[in-house]
Structure 1
């Protein structure tokens, strides 16, 4: 997943007019119209990568000690795979050789690199650039490996693309 994200960023960077880069789920539903979201992102001085220290089996237990000394357990982060970053950070992500290779080599199932690479990389190298939150909202209150799926109250069908 991380390599696919890096390739998408590299391709998007070819267009010099692209200033912000957003990765969303196919099921993300905008809460505001495009111009409102666009204005918010263009005026933002930070990026939006969720990054937190999570103990337990879906967080710290996924860490592989072979990542040391470059990534220490106390530097290991988790976050949503959805992000919004600026051009400068996108260039850093596609230029990264060290951390991406470490994650490719040692983040194996049940470690999901798309939930750990970018949060760890951004927190380690560019913490001042990050708002430390995502621009998406999901409901994990039901538990399980996937968030609650919103349903249109009228049609009773899943909201957003299916």
Structure 2
């Protein structure tokens, strides 16, 4: 997965007209129309990669302690180090990019995500949304129910995307998108 992520980024960076890159999974949806998302990204003075150090089992507990010297030195072979030392609950593709950015240029990063995720049930995976979960109120809450900084100023537009939406949620999303998400 890390190698695939690296290749996607490398190919995107070959095209100099790409000023921003967004990595999304197949279960993500946009919360705003294209123009709003584009303007938010282009006008930003920072990257949006959430990175933090958790001492609990869901954080550092996911790694073999032998990985630490390699991460500290930022060895070129970091993808192979993740592959070798991530324990079964470690998803290297979710840790590789945040680690790289934190080690190389943390001052350019907002240290927050643009993707709204529901972790309320605990565990290593977020809540998956099905058709009956989708309501106009839910989508509105995802779009505006948080506070964060954007270009060092407070804002309520913190998330441009949301995940984990199943295929069976699509019909309700399509019904509400024109009104709620301004598509």
TM-score bracket, normalised by the shorter chain, equals: 0.7 to 0.9
How far has the Cα of 1:123 moved from its partner?
A: 1.1
Q: TM-score, normalised by structure 2?
A: 0.66
Relative to total residues, which structure has the larger helix share, 1 or 2? 2
Match of 1:82 in 2: none
Is the CA contact (8 Å cut-off) linking 1:48 and 1:135 kept in structure 2? yes
> Aligned ranges for residues 108-147 of structure 1 at < 5 Å?
108-147=87-126
Structure with greater Cα Rg: 2
Matched residue, 2:60 = 60
* 2:58–2:124 Cα contact (<8 Å) kept: no
Q: Which runs of 4+ in 1 moved over 6 A?
A: none
Counterpart Cα distance in 1 of 2:119 and 2:60: 19
CA, structure 1 residues 147+155, in 2 after alignment: closer, same or farther (shift >3 Å)?
closer
TM-score (ref. length: structure 1): 0.73
Say if 1:54 and 1:66 are closer, same or farther in 2 by CA, change over 3 A: same
Q: Tell me the equivalent position of 1:158.
A: 169
Stretch deviating more after TM superposition (7-16 or 36-45): 7-16
Figure out how many residues of one structure are paired with residues of the other and give that number: 139
Instruction: Give the match for residue 99 of structure 1.
Output: 78
Is there any run of 5+ residues in structure 2 with no aligned partner, and where? 136-167, 175-183
